[in-house]
Homo-oligomer: A and B are copies of this chain.
């Protein structure tokens, strides 16, 4: 028996087939093109996402791996925060603004009534214009016209067009910024303040819930069997957590992607998050809490481009040539705003401690170390709130190279293990297995097989502790200087 999963990410769609034990059988991907019609607006075409999902699934099916392994579920891992209006047939009526889109900024006060602490306590998410509820409020009447039958996030949009009922899981619902996370129902007053009728929103269900069956047209387009159970899946970070080896109280998952994100599980809701950028949502009887850096892999890409190494191969070579010794250079990787902890979308990046002797390998190492310093800081802030990171599994593109991973581990002061088939697609697939009844619960899923495990060198502990202290002090010092405001925000 096999499991199918689709990951709808900001940079494109991936689809894969897994065995019911979570071993990868085949994977395909399609890149997405974002549109940036005006400054601060970044949109994706949901209809294109649907077409890409269908075509990419089709390519997985065409690999022939399902012939001996009958598929039992199709489930989703989905980028959060994007939202769009649909008509009665579930067709997109507008492009969907993605995370980086800033249109929601002007209506935050209108939606929250200025009481940000209450809203964070209610929704589990810090108040930030990226969340869907602010985007829907910003669009106003344009998204409430007579044609509009509802609002959808990208996962429920795609699933709906393949045969699912209008349903969204609790983690994706939380990432709209409009879920009452304790009750697990929509936060009525926020949507009302945003001008959105509650009837426009999909039903909230648990991750792993079967929400429909693949209809004939979807089956024909993908080559999958008609009637295949569609499982709701979850937000990409939640999928990465479950797929990457995360287990509440025991192991956490750090996704090194275009952004870096640490996801930590607990049995009860963590306290003391209000007033921070830490976000939490309920899942499978427990809670997941997220913290990260807005530009992880993006900062590495930027560095490679500045160094004249623009192609993926050149970039990998540049990073692989990173210095063996700790770098006296410090990088603050806030090139797309800060991470969760500083929660400052206007923050900018910095490179400190340069001398004429600074080499490209030393700079490469410093860019990699930055991810480790941020991870160390997040773990400490979580610990201060009685949330322990435990073992750490790395997933995402940045987990693929042992050398880069070892540098991050050294700076983080924490062992990092990478799984062979970890990540959000595996998590989505295994949630499908729970939906199909193959596994009793998310907690009982098989762990990924370790492909690489790196340990910080104890001889470097003292150096990295000192350097991490300087890293922590860097953003506050630069913020005070008013050098942190990006051009756009001046």
Contact = CB atoms under 8 A, between A and B. Distances in A.
Given A478-B477, A483-B470, A354 B348 contact: yes
A293 to B, nearest CB: 12
Given A358-B335, A478-B477, A483 B308 contact: no
Nearest to A463: B490
A350 B348 contact: no
A352 interface: yes
B474 A328 contact: no
A350 B349 contact: no
A481 B355 CA distance: 17
Interface string A463-475: 0000000100110
A363 interface: yes
Nearest to A353: B348
Nearest to A348: B353
Contacts of A478: 352, 477
Nearest to A351: B351
Interface in A335-358: 335-336, 348-358
A480 B477 contact: yes
What does DSSP make chain A's interface, helix, strand, loop or mixed?
mixed
A353 B484 contact: yes
A328 to B, nearest CB: 4
Given A350-B350, A358-B302, A358-B335, A481 B477 contact: yes
A483 B349 contact: no
Contacts of A305: 360
A349 B366 CA distance: 14
A335 B354 contact: yes
Given A352-B350, A354-B351, A481 B474 contact: yes
Given A308-B308, A308-B309, A481-B470, A486 B353 contact: yes
Contacts of A482: 470
Interface string A295-334: 1001100100111110000000000000000001010000
A350 B299 CA distance: 17
Nearest to A294: B356
Instruction: Say which size band chain A's interface belongs to.
Output: 35 or more
Contacts of A363: 306
Q: What number of copies of this chain does the assembly contain? A: 2
A459 interface: no
A260 to B, nearest CB: 14
A487 interface: yes
A336 B356 CA distance: 6
B477 A330 contact: no
A474 B351 CA distance: 12
A470 B474 CA distance: 15
Nearest to A354: B349
A473 B352 CA distance: 15
Contacts of A486: 328, 353, 355
Interface centre among A299, A307, A481 (most CB of B within 10 A): A481
A351 B483 CA distance: 11
A471 to B, nearest CB: 9
A174 to B, nearest CB: 27
B481 A356 contact: no
A302 B360 CA distance: 10
A73 to B, nearest CB: 37
Nearest to A326: B487
A470 B482 CA distance: 7
Contacts of A474: 481, 483
A354 B470 CA distance: 19
Contacts of A306: 306-307, 358, 360, 363
B298 A356 contact: yes
A288 to B, nearest CB: 27
Contacts of A336: 355-356
27 contacts: A299-B356, A302-B354, A305-B360, A306-B306, A308-B308, A328-B487, A328-B490, A330-B483, A335-B354, A335-B356, A335-B358, A336-B356, A348-B353, A348-B355, A349-B354, A350-B351, A350-B352, A350-B353, A350-B354, A351-B354, A352-B478, A353-B483, A353-B486, A470-B481, A474-B483, A477-B478, A477-B481
- 6 tightest A-B CB contacts, nearest first: A308-B308, A349-B354, A328-B487, A351-B351, A350-B352, A477-B477
Given A306-B363, A349-B355, A352-B483, 17 more contacts: A306-B307, A307-B308, A328-B348, A328-B487, A330-B483, A335-B354, A336-B355, A348-B353, A349-B354, A350-B352, A355-B486, A470-B482, A473-B481, A473-B483, A474-B483, A477-B478, A477-B481
